[in-house]
Amino acid sequence: MEIIKPGTNFDFLGKRKVALGGSAILLLVIWLLVPFRLNLGVDFAGGTEIEVQFHQNVSPVEVRQKVEEAGFADASVQQIGEKTENAFLVHVERVQILSPEQTEAVRAALQSALADYGVQSIDFDQNVGDRIDVRTEKPAPLDVIRNAVAGVPGVQLRAGGEPVRDLSRGAQPAYQVLTQGLSDKVTGALQQAFGQDKVEVRRVEFVGPQVGEQLRNRGIMAVLLSLVAILLYVAFRFQPKYAPGGVLSLFHDVSVVMGFYVVTGAEFNLTSIAVILTIVGYSINDTIVIFDRVREIESRKTGKSLYEILNLANNESLGRTIITSLVTALSLLGLLFFAGGTSLWDFAAAMLVGLISGTYSTIFIAGPFALWFDKWFARRDAEQKAREARLAAQDRGELPAKQGGGKRRARAHAD
């Protein structure tokens, strides 16, 4: 069986201006939208995500209402999976459970309650906000601290364990107060509203802002690093003139995958970085197959221009390009149709978009840029040659040569 009959002769490069123009506009739109529309998950934005399942029928509206009543008006509630599963994702962007007013109220309450013991410092944990550190001059009873904090409206101490801990060492009295964490508060409110045994917490993800920022920076670094590594490999393994096109086509694919997240509003998280890096690997794979073919045709010494060679390479490899993309896409279909409601769906869909982009970019981005850089390198070489010739002529006292061997050399290089 054959999908692509051999001997096709499409003029792919002839469409390069339309393709490049279209891609440029698409990329521009995507990157303009990224800052506004990219739905950063807790991995990168920090925050709390709670997946709950109810053992009774519950509507998203009810869940949202209860979460709002618990004091999280900014939370997003999203139903996941089949309707009958009654599973929801509650996403709260902030990590600090205490509002600035509450923080001040707690500080004031502690100051007045501990006045007799000489307050040295009251510090709130910057990252998480559920821990208060207190240092006093004289040892203070734990009860006094506990009551002072618990007395502030809306502030609850951590249930279970000891919410107030004595960390005194030697002559320095030190105490730690733990307030209720955000996920506890949300699940507590839901359990209160729907019944203790009706709510099951399936998953909690909490990422502090510090970690979120680290993960974000490292994610960007990883993508950039992979682009640079591949640029170097292609430049070393093939010729430098092929490298920029290869990397620009990868940049194109990365952008299109970002576009998928922007358009669908799917959560952009650590798995998305995995998708991007895999697409980078897959797409350059595709590009290398074509460049390999170019190298092979060049070695046949047919006297064809690079334009013709690139077209020929694309046509000769067309069967492979289509089949490989098709097979890879087929392997993702199972995930797409049978893994709904899990993060695998987003993964498969984003991968599929990247796959199509990777196939397109090899033909319409990497090729044209190789052609363009080929001309650029040739012109640079020609100018260099001409300059040398001129200098040599001046040395010999002859007139500067207007027409040197530059053009001949350029042609030889293109061949």
Partner 1 sequence: MERSWYVRLGLVLAVVLGALYLLIPTFVYFSLPQDVRNDPGALEAALPSWAPKKRINLGLDLQGGVHLVLGVDLDKAEQDRITRRADELRNWATEQKLAFQSIRAQPAEREVQVTFASEADASAFGKAVTNYFGDMEQRSSGTTSTYAFSSEALKNFRTGAVDQALRTIRNRVDKWGVSEPTIAKRGDNGILVQLPGFKDPEQAKDLLGRTAQLAFKIVEDGRQGVVEGLGAPPEGITLGSDGNQTYLQSTDRVALQNFVQGKAPEGMEFGIGRVEGTDVPGREPVFRTYLLRSKVELTGDRLTDARPLLDKSGIGSGKPYVGLTFDTEGAREFERLTGDNIGRRLAIVLDDTVDSAPVIQSKIAGGSAQITLGGAKSYNQLLQEANELSLVLRSGALPAPVSVLEERTVGASLGPELIRKGSLAAVIGLALVVLFMAVYYKMAGLIADVALLLNGVLILAALAVFGATLTLPGIAGFVLTLGMAVDANVLINERIREELREGRTAKVAVNNGYGKAFMTIFDSNLTTLIAGIILLQYGTGPVRGFAVTLIIGLIASMFTAIVVTRVLVDARVRGRHGEALSV
Q: Applying CB under 8 A, which of residues 3, 73, 115, 399 lies at the interface with partner 1? A: 3
Establish if 153 lies at the interface with partner 1 (CB under 8 A): no
219 binds partner 1 (CB under 8 A): yes
C-beta of 302 vs 331, nearer to partner 1: 331
Select the residue interacting with partner 1 from 28, 29, 32, 323 (CB under 8 A).
323
The least CB distance from residue 408 to partner 1, in Å, is: 32
Here the tokens at position 135 are 């240092």
Selected from 13, 164, 177, 280, the binder of partner 1 by CB under 8 A is 280
Stretch that binds partner 1, among 12-20, 33-41, 189-197, 229-237 (CB under 8 A): 229-237
203 binds partner 1 (CB under 8 A): yes
Q: Which 157-176 residues touch partner 1, going by CB under 8 A? A: 158-162, 165, 167-172, 174, 176
Q: Taking the complex as a whole, how short is the minimal distance between the CB of residue 122 and partner 1, in angstroms?
A: 12
Instruction: Pick between residue 27 and residue 174 the one whose CB is nearest to partner 1.
Output: 174
Decide: is 233 part of the binding site for partner 1 (CB under 8 A).
yes
- Binding part of the chain for partner 1, among 16-24, 71-79, 148-156, 196-204 by CB under 8 A, reads 196-204
> Which C-beta is closer to partner 1: that of 270 or that of 414?
270
Contact flag: residue 226 with partner 1 (CB under 8 A): yes
> 60-119: which residues touch partner 1 (CB under 8 A)?
none
Binding-site member from 121, 196, 299, 403 for partner 1 (CB under 8 A): 121
Asked if 146 is part of the footprint of partner 1 (rule: CB under 8 A), the reply reads no
Stretch of residues binding partner 1 (CB under 8 A), selected from 31-39, 206-214, 255-263, 388-396: 206-214
296 makes contact with partner 1 (CB under 8 A)? yes
